[in-house]
Amino acid sequence: MEIVFNDLSYIENKDSSLEKKYFDSINLEINSGSIVAFVSNDLDILGKLLLCIKRPTKGELMIDNISIRRTSHIDNVELIRKRIGFMTYSDNKLFLSNNVKDEIKGYMTNYNYKCKNIVKHIMDSLKMVGLDDSFLERNPNKLSFTEAKKVELACLLSYNPEVLVLCDFEKGLTYKEREYFRKLFLKLKNDFNKTIILITSDLTFMFNIVDNVYVINKGKLVIDGDKDIFYEDKLYKYIEMPKIVEFTKYVNSLGYNIIEYTDFKELIKEIYRNV
């Protein structure tokens, strides 16, 4: 699934003292099977635009050959929503079922996802996010914050959407859990051709896994680039520098010429060889 922004704007309370620009005349293209990141403090509106919950103020959002405009009629909204999984940050996620198995099954039913062995499919969805079958009968509303987040992601994966839109997914996760999901996202991209859209202000989480980064400031696309932009100073006008970049720049400033790596293991090897 390819997603294209054609002069896309989304503005709330336009021409009033409460006006807020989320997107202001944005043009970009998200390729199928890529991992991209939108860097902003408040962009969960993107998920709502993709799901047709909200409509553009101006311009067009293209999802494959489907045009979403402010006044356009869309015949197949349900199909669009089946193809896109949206997960936003919540301190206290409320689940509707009394056990994890029924919660995931409910998602599969809502999106008309069918398989021969439902229980096995549910267990596979849980395994994908790092949970075992002991969670099947547990009450999702009594799980820890991290366990609940994993169950919510398993719910999305259970109906096999082509695109995952994840807003502030990394919040509340330990370093080990973050690394697990970074590897999972790469697996989903490489093995299953999933398109993953991360909405985050945490560059460290997206570092080394994204194909493109879009930095949005006051609705404008101020920076657009691949992994190389992590070493461009202009990026840090808008966001905090990842530690690996900060360290590499510091070592180079001392006169040691080391390559700008995006992988910690390779960086350590380079330091060993040259420093």
Q: Where in the chain is the domain with CATH 3.40.50.300?
A: 3-238
What residues does 217 pair with on adjacent strands?
220
* Residue 93 confidence (pLDDT): 82
Residue from 156, 152, 247, 137 nearest 196 by CA: 156
* Residue 270 confidence (pLDDT): 59
CA distance 7 to 165: 21
Kindly report the number of other CB atoms within 10 A of residue 250's CB atom: 10
Kindly report the number of other CB atoms within 10 A of residue 254's CB atom: 7
Report pLDDT digits (tens) over 134-190. 999 999 999 999 999 999 999 999 999 999 999 999 998 998 999 899 999 999 999
Q: Domain spanning 3-238: which superfamily? A: P-loop containing nucleotide triphosphate hydrolases (3.40.50.300)
Residue from 244, 205, 210, 213 nearest 229 by CA: 213
Model pTM? Answer: 0.85
Low-confidence ranges of the chain (pLDDT < 50): none
* Residue 82 confidence (pLDDT): 94
* Residue 275 confidence (pLDDT): 54
